[in-house]
Amino acid sequence: MAQVFPTSAQIVIIGGGVIDTSIAYNPVKYGARDLLLLEKTLPTEGATWHAAGLVGQFRSQQNLMEMMSDSVKVFDQLGQDTAQNPSWNKVGSLRIAPSNERWGELLKSQASAQAVGFEMDMLTPQEALEIYPLMKIDDLVGAAFIPADGHIDPNSLT
Ligand SMILES: Cc1cc2nc3c(=O)[nH]c(=O)nc-3n(C[C@H](O)[C@H](O)[C@H](O)COP(=O)(O)OP(=O)(O)OC[C@H]3O[C@@H](n4cnc5c(N)ncnc54)[C@H](O)[C@@H]3O)c2cc1C
């Protein structure tokens, strides 16, 4: 029997990468059913296939931090909402400051992180070493630890 493809839909999304499927996610979550996602090859075969899957909320601009922080809230909920495991590992991230200038930048960013609402802990070199014991700390001024960062498998997420 010949396959019948839809010729129209209320919502049409072009592409089957992680951004495209996340655009589809909310309308479907809240009840939309007439949604068509068009992918010219296979889902995740674009940039998504190459991604390391690092999830870091720290950004130079506050609006980008807010977007990343919202993504983390979605990742936290996704397993429960979809009954599929997105391989979300919330292991935290360390940003190191090997100079006083970099340390100053991290201290300034801490205020933005607090405004967005995610935790960013300022650590001494010794405290950073306890989190990542393979690190050399001779030239370290300090480090910032973001406990709610981590990595997610881009394929499973899509
Ligand atoms: C090496 C590398 C490492 C990365 N590491 C990270 C990371 O650690 N953390 C992070 O957050 N981001 C990372 N990124 C960025 C991340 O991969 C991209 O931001 C993300 O995958 C973009 O998703 P997308 O859906 O916009 O695009 P894509 O994944 O490229 O999806 C677009 C899709 O559209 C399809 N398409 C295109 N044109 C058409 C058409 N005309 N009709 C139908 N389908 C079409 C393509 O086939 C493709 O599948 C990395 C990227 C690279 C390359």
pLDDT in single tens digits along all 158 residues of the chain: 788 888 999 999 999 999 999 999 999 999 999 999 999 999 999 999 999 999 999 988 889 999 999 999 999 999 999 999 999 999 999 999 999 999 999 998 888 888 888 899 999 999 999 999 999 999 999 999 999 999 999 999 99
Centroid of ligand 1 to alpha carbon of 66 (angstroms)? 21
Is any ligand 1 atom within 6 A of the Cβ of residue 50?
A: yes
Residue closest by Cα to atom 2 of ligand 1 = 51
- Amino acid 95: pLDDT: 95
- Amino acid 4: pLDDT: 85
- Amino acid 40: pLDDT: 96
Is any ligand 1 atom within 6 A of the Cβ of residue 42?
A: no
Is any ligand 1 atom within 6 A of the Cβ of residue 48?
A: yes
Rg over CA atoms, the chain: 20
- Amino acid 128: pLDDT: 98
- 53: Cβ contacts below 8 Å, ≥ 6 apart: 151, 152, 153, 154, 157
- Amino acid 111: pLDDT: 86
Concatenated DSSP letters of the chain = -PPPPPS--SEEEE--SHHHHHHHHHHHHTT---EEEE-SS-TT-SHHHH---EE----SSHHHHHHHHHHHHHHHHHHHHHSS---EE---EEEEESSHHHHHHHHHHHHHHHHHT---EEE-HHHHHHH-TT---TT--EEEEETT-EEE-HHHH-
Is any ligand 1 atom within 6 A of the Cβ of residue 18?
A: yes
Distance CA 126, CA 32 (A): 51
Burial, 40: exposed, middle or buried (Cβ in 10 Å; 0-12, 13-18, 19+)? Answer: exposed
Q: pTM of the prediction?
A: 0.89
- Amino acid 109: pLDDT: 87
Centroid of ligand 1 to alpha carbon of 63 (angstroms)? 21
- The domains of the chain are located at 1-50, 53-157
Is any ligand 1 atom within 6 A of the Cβ of residue 93?
A: no
Both tokens assigned to 152 = 């997610």
Centroid of ligand 1 to alpha carbon of 49 (angstroms)? 7
